[in-house]
Amino acid sequence: MVAANGSVAPCQPMGSDMECGADGARLRSGGPHVGGVKIIGATLTPNKGSTFPGFFTPENEVKRQTVNQWIRTSGAYDGVIDFDKAVRDPSDPARLLPAYASDDNTHLSDAGYQAMANAIDLSLFR
């Protein structure tokens, strides 16, 4: 099971209550281990410059950074895939690297999705 971009957590990652995403991940990371299922966490990708009104805000960026730090350091996961690190612009970490951004600056280009795929350490799944 991979927990990424709210797909496992019960709330939208950029919703009004970012903590619900982390709480959902915490709740779910304890359960599946019963059946021997590994839980792999994945960081949220940047979206500064998003064309969707209100999607990127300085407040949401702080929340994204907070959740990503928790995903990286909490120990709640058997492994972590750092999609944020793989696709962010080193000169502006709140933004996707231009080569990896689609026209809406929220979704990735084909090259961006390839960078995400390349960031996955397949040994996590053994």
Element (H, E) at 59: helix 58-73
The residue with tokens 């000169």 is 91
What residues of the chain score a pLDDT lower than 70? Answer: 1-34
pLDDT of residue 9: 38
Burial 59-77 (b: 16+ CB within 10 A, else e): ebbebbbebbebbeeeebb
Q: How do the domains of the chain map onto residue ranges? A: 2-125
Quick one: 117 exposed, middle or buried, by C-beta within 10 A (0-12, 13-18, 19+)?
A: exposed
Q: Check residue 52 and give its pLDDT.
A: 96
Task: Write out pLDDT tens, residues 35-44.
Answer: 778 899 999 9
Around 66, how many Cα atoms within 13 Å sit in the side-chain half-sphere?
15
76-96: per-residue pLDDT in tens?
899 999 999 999 999 999 999
CATH topology of domain 2-125: Rossmann fold (3.40.50)
User: What's the predicted TM-score (pTM) here?
Assistant: 0.78
CA dihedral 71, 76, 77, 81 (to 10 degrees): 10
Neighbours of 109 (CB within 10 A): 17
